[in-house]
């Protein structure tokens, strides 16, 4: 890869990372503690370097906590802080699940995205569910209707960000020079 191509790939990677973090921060304003971490973890696993994935999800979680406590009035109680930490751990577990399921290089089309996404969502929700045995939670927080609604939000966010990636690639803003072409194989350009 030429120095110019390497520079463009680095800039595209930085833009994509900024998009994920910015989307996470914006979605934190809308969804508060229901920020779609599974969708964001899936995108991080599929379109960032391994060394950047934890950084991206960590920044999204940090932005979520700053927005929650700084602007949305999260209560400053021990259980609220504990749930914030659990959300961070659950986002990390979701990222690990998405990364593990994104490793199959021969998976093309919708399965390149859907399998890591379903794995990330399942890991995220299960982590939160396990924490509910120790931390206080609202009745019905893990009712099927609530989990379904959170799944739909994550799926819509994932689809929207994949569509933005596709548009940015068409416009030449995110020309992919990496070996990670999972999103590109899921949504053909042109």
How confident is the model at residue 188, as a pLDDT?
32
What the block records as the tokens of 59 is 């920044």
How confident is the model at residue 187, as a pLDDT?
40
**Alpha helix (H) ranges present in the chain?**
3-31, 37-47, 50-70, 78-101, 111-131, 144-170, 182-186
How confident is the model at residue 106, as a pLDDT?
62
**Separation of alpha carbons 171 and 174, rounded Å:** 8
Cβ contacts of 6-13, under 8 Å, gap ≥ 24? 6/177, 8/175, 8/177, 9/175, 9/176, 9/177, 9/178, 12/173, 12/174, 12/175, 12/176, 12/177, 13/48, 13/49, 13/52, 13/178
- Listed by start position, the domains of the chain span 3-179
Per-residue pLDDT of the chain (190 residues), as tens digits, is 565 566 766 777 788 888 899 999 999 999 888 899 999 999 999 988 888 999 999 999 999 999 999 999 999 999 999 999 999 999 999 999 999 998 766 667 767 899 999 999 999 999 999 999 999 999 999 999 999 999 999 999 999 999 988 888 888 777 654 444 445 545 433 3
How confident is the model at residue 178, as a pLDDT?
45
How confident is the model at residue 77, as a pLDDT?
97
How confident is the model at residue 84, as a pLDDT?
96
Q: DSSP of 104-155, one letter per residue?
A: -TT--TTHHHHHHHHHHHHHHHHHHHHHTTTS---TTTT-HHHHHHHHHHHH
């Amino acid at each position: 890869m030429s120095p110019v191509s390497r520079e463009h790939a680095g800039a595209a990677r930085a833009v994509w990372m900024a998009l994920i973090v910015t989307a996470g921060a914006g979605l934190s304003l809308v969804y508060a503690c229901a920020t779609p971490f599974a969708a964001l973890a899936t995108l991080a696993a599929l379109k960032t370097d391994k060394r950047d994935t934890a950084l991206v999800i960590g920044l999204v979680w940090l932005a979520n906590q700053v927005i929650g406590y700084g602007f949305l009035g999260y209560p400053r109680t021990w259980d609220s802080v504990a749930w914030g930490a659990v959300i961070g751990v659950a986002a990390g577990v979701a990222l690990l699940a998405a990364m593990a399921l994104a490793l199959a290089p021969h998976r093309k089309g919708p399965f390149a995205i859907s399998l890591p996404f379903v794995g990330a969502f399942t890991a995220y929700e299960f982590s939160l569910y396990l924490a509910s045995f120790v931390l206080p939670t609202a009745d019905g927080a893990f009712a099927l209707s609530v989990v379904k609604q959170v799944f739909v939000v994550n799926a819509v966010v994932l689809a929207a960000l994949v569509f933005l990636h596709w548009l940015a690639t068409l416009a030449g803003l995110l020309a992919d020079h990496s070996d990670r072409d999972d999103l590109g194989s899921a949504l053909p350009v042109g």
